[in-house]
Structure 1
Amino acid sequence: MKRKTDLRSISWQDNCVVIIDQTRLPGELRFLRIKDVHALWQAVKELKVRGAPALGAAAGLGAYLAVRNSKAKDFESFFPGLKKALRYIATSRPTARNLFYGLERIERIALHNRSKGVAQIKRLILKEAQRIMDEDRVSCRLIGEHGERLLKSGDTVLTVCNAGMLATVGEGTALGVLYAAQRKGKRIKVYACETRPLLQGARLTTWELMKHGLDVTLICDNMAATLMRQGKIDKVIAGADRIAANGDAANKIGTYSLAVLARFHRIPFYIAAPASTFDVSIAHGKDIPIEERAAEEVTALFFRKPVAPERVKVYNPAFDVTDQALIKALITDKGVIRPPYHRNIRRIISLKRGHATE
């Protein structure tokens, strides 16, 4: 088995996209080799690869898979096929900003180099996808460095879903803060919410925290309030899938509940995310598109054993939006952003628009 520091949720190896199949964890560490865009779309839809930053990488690599065998002789015949592939990948999951960020960067690099030959444009598309991955590794490290300063040795942190190396190309956003604190020698304890209905906290977060040697305790989602009342939580840190211009943040369903509880119990609540997760074209969180997923995710225990009556009506939004007023600070690769968010996000976040200069 690879060492914890060698594991990558997604990578490009031997002309294939290689991902950890996260639906198999924690029971089995299985790597999947993906060779075409349709298999990649399915892997994204089925959460075999997941997490906003990782989806940005998947988008870029998926675009390359879609066009690498194109027979087009010039840009005018090549670009419609690329555009079709980008639209197709965009239908996989609607909420994560990074997926669209990755697609936009690929389109820009192609348009900027339209005067070049098709073979060279293909190489530049792959290079841009790899650059997205390289940048995310750096972003994760910077998020960790900025965020760990908010933690004291002896703190106990509550987190939800999975915002670690499994959700990024680097070592994570929310969990990256914990890993950075660990490297600084700080003693940090973690409570991980199981994160219904697909148990990303139970299956993924506890798995990787244990691999990193952090003190982690798993709880059911409905235990968080009791822990806070008992004084067992010092901070709450979550990731994000999309952040609006005013600081409202979409993340895994249940995050908003934790923010409300944290406010009532006077516990600082933080969101950790890279600049690429911010969507300044959306003014408020109410306009963030929220993915609704299959009823079976709720009615069956991880698709295997029914836990609800047949034909029961189900509402299954994958994400909720935390109001910016509940967020103590946004921990980013650009630094820690504090209120007023509507002013400071635009001042501090300079969204990377790609390197369309090749």
Structure 2
Amino acid sequence: MIHEEDDPVTLADAPTRRLNMIEAINDALDIMLTRDPDVVIMGQDVGYFGGVFRATAGLQEKHGKTRVFDTPISECGIIGAAVGMGAYGLRPVPEIQFADYIYPGLDQLVSEAARLRYRSAAEFTSPMTVRTPFGGGIFGGQTHSQSPEALFAHVSGLKTVVPSTPYDAKGLLIAAIEDNDPVIFFEPKRIYNGPFDGYYDRPNTPWKSYDASEVPEGYYSIPLGKARIVREGEAMTVLAYGTMVHVVESVCREKGVNAEVIDLRTLVPLDIEAIEKSVRKTGKCLIVHEATRTAGFGAELSALVQERCFYHLEAPVQRVTGFDTPYPHSLEWAFFPGPIRIGEAIDTLMSE
């Protein structure tokens, strides 16, 4: 077993391939299907078709219809069946086609999967990983673009993961599948095909899309609950996850701000030690996420920073988020936190 932090030399020397996030996820699933006969993949169109975003393409042909199989259009049924499979000893990886569709299965996740270990005194567990694309970026409107991560981060017993790079997507997904507790694995579909420079709130400004990045071949895992320092800095700490990591990094680079950007990677478990260490060093904190503002995960982050770093803060914690409105189809780019709004928040913090 190769772990990123435990054996960095081995991982650094491993051969790599250029993969986008979809390809990295497919690679992780292929590896786990091969390594563990208890891993099964299920969901709408994941089998013969290979998934609406092609994340499971080729896996049924390679591993068979009993390992990778289609389900009825019933999210409650998909999640409920996965809970039972996990209790029986399998490691199911159900795909919910869009995060917006997950709500019919919410009761199974909250009332069954999240509580199974506790209510059975650890006699049973629920080692399931629910993969689902989330967030905007494809003009999917109100039923294909939501970011409900805060709902799941609120539920004790669930783990919540959000990768931002192909490298992380592969390593975190492998770690999630190997975990003995239920994991909600949110995949930011805006960056399925690669990171970008984030300038989508500026009319007539082109944005760059990169098809792939270097991902080590073979098996490796990234421990859940360990954040990634995207860039080191002294001026302020910026907390982000998923798509917003790339937007924040672009803004800081363009403005020439010596900010420390932290990619949370996992919301639960949260690497609060990394956050606290950074904020105590910089004295300022900006939080950016795509989801709506009220009761978003940024509110929890803000409270934690205030509780743990109050006497080190030189300015109030700032948040830049989506708006408290139903998801706007035609105004999608305006809904996203972009360079203009993030830049204004950075300017405010720098002036205080």
Shorter-chain-normalised TM-score: which range? 0.3 to 0.5
Q: What TM-score, normalized to structure 2?
A: 0.32
Q: When you count helix as a share of all residues, which structure comes out higher?
A: 1
